[in-house]
Chains A and B, each alone.
Chain A
């Protein structure tokens, strides 16, 4: 019996009971639909995340100073630093061949109260790094310039403002702000204030209040702590080190960790996020797996019924020369085809459901005024997912068909012929 004959006969047998075949495959459809939807969500989210991480650069490391362990004596406030990020260290790193740039960072204390004064308006704000392009959330893209230009990491006396801040201040003529003098005002708990005059060089389509260069942030912090020697005593709060490649970043990371620094790489963050997604996929995918398990019982039941119904036919086939393995093959292929049919409908259904849910999420985000890129796909059905789903569905059918097929093959031809 050729494969063609096997498939043709199996299809014709399934066609005799279209409703039953369809109902048996519904279970597989539901299982595969769930799996495809969940896995495509995982793939889509992962793709968007990787795209964002890549725009920042995976070959970037963030170096932080080492702190003393927290103890009874330093449990309030920041513990003393044991390993400083000095300008000398930054210079040493810059001489390394695998290092492209080293950008020092200052982090302002969270207790700091800062406001921005434009003409006679004053609002409380927060300060961000001038060149911080890291996404505000996993799906946002780097901010775009709406007026003027972006700043470098260190441009003393310059500032950029965000559209969200200006909206709050009812200012919509962004162009008029360029080259305008504004003031950042620090309010110390001790009562006194200090104003820092700055020139606006750009407006960004952004949700991050204002952006300042390194030197100005250092000046703010020095005034806040009344410590003009802040850089010498505390060092930088962080160094952003961009290397030539991902492997160079990994090597440098190991080296710096050995020296006792706290190092984080984008790769580590991405890996962590990936692990999270994998766990989510496994959990959601197992819902589909349970559905498939139930579906396989349905197929097995259908096939056992078919063996009963076709007992006489099996007897006739054996009498005219069908071998047990041919009978077995016939039933296994029928069961596999039921699985495959469910796989096809489930995959198409899962893909359509993903498209629908994607629209829904985008609509909800737009309604919630969350900015996301235009053509974002939270659900991505890749070719390997389609192949995996179809193979999996077929295998589920095949496994469900093994027992009924063995029963059919084992039937005694004489008893089968007498069966009415």
Chain B
């Protein structure tokens, strides 16, 4: 099995005032290439923490994260940056688009930091916006787009660096049911059509139903890991 993600004894402890909170208490998770995994659980169960650790936005207190065979927890800032740039794409609940940039500029943004020339960035951004069905919305700013359209722009932005892994944190959380289902269908299509590995954090069983495998988290530990519920 070609493994994309492997975590071993992953733990994360936060300091809240004088007290310590254990968000994760030893999570062992393996995700194979092309897998679509949903991470579910009640709020405070540590779902987002797992996602952030895998995405290289945070470092574990103990344990290890391996992405494509590279150990992240022991890496320096430079390696983490390269990891975020090359291996993962993020999709957030609140889209996190830059309001003053057009859809095309938002999508092209990650390529700017990789030093891709402007012309090529624009061309590639158009391709990915076409792919998410927004070929006609290139010059629109986020405020001129609907929630669903904004999330599609965010997905195109996550894909433009051609990552091996797409990480989505409550991608439908700010959308109505119909739009949410459309977004999940788009993600499923990317997974099935292009073999993109997906890790989606959600508390919504309907969203989780799109996944191949559901991993249930409770109090910082994996409770159930298996196929369709």
A interface, CB within 8 angstroms of B? 1-2, 4-5, 9, 12, 16, 312-313, 315-324, 326, 413-414, 417
CB distance from B75 to the nearest CB of A (A): 13
Q: Is the CB of B96 within 8 A of A317?
A: no
Q: Is the CB of B110 within 8 A of A324?
A: no
Chain A residues touching B, majority SS: helix
Q: Which of B78-86, B133-141, B193-201, B220-228 contacts A (4 or more CB under 8 A)?
A: B78-86
Q: Is the CB of A320 within 8 A of B110?
A: yes
Q: Is the CB of B81 within 8 A of A322?
A: yes
For the complex, what is the distance from the CA of A417 to the CA of B110, rounded to whole Å?
16
For the complex, what is the distance from the CA of A117 to the CA of B9, rounded to whole Å?
117
Q: Determine which of A312, A320, A414 lies in contact with B113 in the assembled complex, contact meaning CB atoms within 8 Å.
A: A320
Chain B residues touching A, majority SS: helix
Known A1-B113, A318-B57, A319-B90; further 19 A-B contacts with Cβ < 8 A? A1-B115, A2-B115, A2-B117, A12-B100, A16-B100, A316-B96, A316-B98, A318-B81, A320-B84, A320-B113, A320-B157, A321-B114, A321-B161, A322-B81, A326-B113, A414-B57, A414-B58, A417-B57, A417-B96
- Give the residues in chain A near B78, CB-CB below 8 Å: 323
Q: Is the CB of B77 within 8 A of A324?
A: yes
Q: Determine which of B77, B96, B113, B117 lies in contact with A321 in the assembled complex, contact meaning CB atoms within 8 Å.
A: B113
Q: Is the CB of B100 within 8 A of A321?
A: no
A-B CB contact pairs (8 Å), 17 listed: A1-B112, A1-B113, A1-B115, A5-B112, A313-B98, A316-B96, A317-B113, A320-B110, A320-B113, A320-B157, A321-B86, A322-B81, A322-B113, A323-B78, A324-B77, A326-B113, A414-B58
Interface residues of B in 170-202 (CB under 8 A from A): none
Q: Is B52 an interface residue, CB under 8 A from the partner? A: yes
For the complex, what is the distance from the CA of A315 to the CA of B115, rounded to whole Å?
19
Given A324-B77, A414-B57, answer yes or no on A319-B96 (Cβ-Cβ < 8 Å). yes
Q: Determine which of B57, B81, B92, B109 lies in contact with A324 in the assembled complex, contact meaning CB atoms within 8 Å.
A: B81
Q: Is B71 an interface residue, CB under 8 A from the partner? A: no
For the complex, what is the distance from the CA of A322 to the CA of B85, rounded to whole Å?
8
Select the residue from A313, A321, A322 with max chain B CB neighbours within 10 A: A321
- Give the residues in chain B near A321, CB-CB below 8 Å: 81, 84-86, 110, 113-114, 161
CB distance from B110 to the nearest CB of A (A): 4
B interface, CB within 8 angstroms of A? 52, 55, 57-58, 77-78, 81, 84-86, 90, 92, 96, 98, 100, 109-110, 112-115, 117-118, 157, 161
For the complex, what is the distance from the CA of A313 to the CA of B100, rounded to whole Å?
11
For the complex, what is the distance from the CA of A413 to the CA of B51, rounded to whole Å?
13
For the complex, what is the distance from the CA of A114 to the CA of B53, rounded to whole Å?
102
- Give the residues in chain A near B86, CB-CB below 8 Å: 321
For the complex, what is the distance from the CA of A9 to the CA of B113, rounded to whole Å?
12
- Give the residues in chain B near A313, CB-CB below 8 Å: 98
- Give the residues in chain B near A323, CB-CB below 8 Å: 77-78, 81, 113
Q: Could you count the A-B residue pairs with CB atoms below 8 Å apart for me: how many are there?
A: 58
- Give the residues in chain B near A414, CB-CB below 8 Å: 52, 57-58
CB distance from B68 to the nearest CB of A (A): 16
- Give the residues in chain B near A9, CB-CB below 8 Å: 112
For the complex, what is the distance from the CA of A106 to the CA of B209, rounded to whole Å?
115
Closest to A320 in B: B110
For the complex, what is the distance from the CA of A324 to the CA of B78, rounded to whole Å?
8
- Give the residues in chain B near A326, CB-CB below 8 Å: 113
Select the residue from A319, A322, A413, A414 with max chain B CB neighbours within 10 A: A319
CB distance from B103 to the nearest CB of A (A): 15
- Give the residues in chain A near B114, CB-CB below 8 Å: 321
Q: Is the CB of A319 within 8 A of B57?
A: yes
- Give the residues in chain A near B92, CB-CB below 8 Å: 417
Given A320-B109, A320-B157, A321-B113, answer yes or no on A5-B118 (Cβ-Cβ < 8 Å). yes
For the complex, what is the distance from the CA of A249 to the CA of B86, rounded to whole Å?
74
CB distance from B200 to the nearest CB of A (A): 17
CB distance from A306 to the nearest CB of B (A): 14
Given A1-B113, A5-B118, A414-B57, answer yes or no on A319-B84 (Cβ-Cβ < 8 Å). yes
